[in-house]
Structure 1
Amino acid sequence: MSKAKHGIVSITVVCVILGTIIGIQFKTVRSQITAQDIQRVSELSIKLNNAVAENETLKQSLEEKEEKIEEYENFIAEDNEELSLIVEENNKLRMFAGLTDVSGRGVSVTINDSPKAGQSGDGVSSDAFLVHAEDILSILNELNVAGAEAIAINGQRIVSTSAVRCAGSVVNVNDVKIAAPFVITAIGDPDILEAALVFPGGVVDSLKPWGIEILIKKLETVEIPAYQQQFVFKEAKNVSTEG
């Protein structure tokens, strides 16, 4: 065998060996990364489940304490007209603030992305076919103007401090991320609430060109949960009426 052929064979053998070594190292690193990712996901999943379980426990404990407080209030106010009036006023204020579960006649409004979501063309962005926070806010505004007494979005009670904003591909309500379909429930006169949404040129008409799907149902019973977050006042204080 000539020196040239011998050199080519040697180089070929070296390349094959190097390729094999690189392939083995790549597979090893890849398997390590995969194992680390799986372990990380598993750890996060356990933490999430623990947080959800703890939240449910705290929520149940809070509900039990609130029921106990209500029992004490009613017991104390039974034979005291003045205290009875105070308890009644307190219950009204809690309802007005959205801190109690309520039910009554109303509507449910289901909003879903257009079937064209994810598509684009003719100078139209694919985002135009998605439900945005602005669309939800427009519906909330019309319902409020029409006299809605209580509103929730996917189970999140809307109160004076509630914020509805886009958070990537989902919508953030009360710092809770929710995704389509969005179900808005509202208590009030069903006929008036529906009319406020479907009148010509209204919010429903404005979303139709984009294929946004809206289904409105008038219901004899709508159940809306209480606001679950805490009210925190850092700057606002009661104005003293003394002096």
Structure 2
Amino acid sequence: MTPDPSPGSGGPRVRTIGVTLVCLVAGLLFGTSASLARETGGASDPQDLAGLITQRDGDVRELGDLADQLRDDVEQLREDRSGSGTARTARDAELLAPGVGTAAVTGPAVQVTLDDAGYSSDTLPDGYSVDDVVVHQQDLQGVVNALWAGGAEAVMVQDQRIVSTSSVQCVGNTLYLQGRVYSPPYTVTAVGDPESLHAALEADPVVSTYRQWADTIGLGYAVADVEDAEMPAFTGAVRPQYATVLTDP
């Protein structure tokens, strides 16, 4: 039989002290880790919307470079594979690519440039606000929609190809497009029949309203023909990430 510890041995007391010391050390370690996290990681976290957008802009650039490399790898694998089925699928994909934006396009184009009026809060004309003298999201969307309606084969905003999943959004006085941030002036380029594209711009009511404001307050609006425009292929994902099912009430 194992003898009981003598009252003077201090067995339970020693164990209690040991547990207490472990808890104290663990608490010290947790506190030190939290302090280091605040010193090293917290400073780099975005503190506002502008910082978040700037961080996302850098992330998108890095992911774009990675996507280019993966695309090259896929192309190399496609070339290495043989077989009539694969070849037929590749031909079908090449035929569809221009329409969905995944192939480069060249041809005559029309380019529209929109710009803020250039006033500051101190030089605004009487009766007008800051919102009246800047390019808005609906202005850019109106131009893009008008060019599509005019039979554009491909459209590019700034240096990015526009596809069915693209979203032209403005955050403050900047354009946020597919993870990238742009400041005015904004350019919209469309490859297609120049005569039809010009006619569509003239007929579109949203563009017409913008032109009236441009004449009144000095917003920038310029249309020019481009003899031979080159548009790169869209490099992002063309599959929608979100969908909403609409049902009748």
Give the structure-1-normalised TM-score: 0.65
**Residue matched to 1:13:** none
Corresponding residue pairs, total: 191
Distance 1:157 1:211 in 2: 28
Alignment of 1:157 with 2:161, yes or no, is yes
Give, in angstroms, the shift of residue 186 of structure 1: 0.8
Give, in angstroms, the shift of residue 181 of structure 1: 0.9
**Residue matched to 1:172:** 176
**Residue matched to 2:198:** 194
Alignment CA distance shift 1:72-1:233 (3 Å): farther
SS of the residue 1:86 aligns to: helix
Give, in angstroms, the shift of residue 216 of structure 1: 1.4
Deviation digits for residues 152-184 of structure 1 (CA, Å, limit 9, x no counterpart): 111122111111122112011123221101111
Of 146-155 and 52-61, deviating more is 52-61
**Residue matched to 1:120:** 124
* CA RMSD of superposed structures (Å): 3.4
The amino acid across from 1:224 in the alignment is M
Distance 1:63 1:83 in 2: 17
SS of the residue 2:163 aligns to: coil
Alignment CA distance shift 1:198-1:70 (3 Å): farther
**Residue matched to 2:223:** 216
Give, in angstroms, the shift of residue 50 of structure 1: 8.4
Structure 2 unaligned regions, length at least 5 = 1-38, 45-50, 245-249
Higher relative contact order (CA 8 A, sep 6+): 2
Distance 1:164 1:222 in 2: 21
**Residue matched to 1:146:** 150
In the alignment, is the contact (CA less than 8 A) between 1:102 and 1:225 conserved in 2?
yes
Alignment CA distance shift 1:84-1:56 (3 Å): closer
Alignment counterpart, residue 111 of structure 1, candidates 97, 106, 114:
114
Alignment counterpart, residue 235 of structure 2, candidates 228, 231, 237:
228
Distance 2:90 2:130 in 1: 53
Alignment counterpart, residue 98 of structure 1, candidates 98, 101, 112:
101
In the alignment, is the contact (CA less than 8 A) between 1:113 and 1:212 conserved in 2?
yes
**Residue matched to 2:6:** none
Identity %: 28
Distance 1:234 1:154 in 2: 25
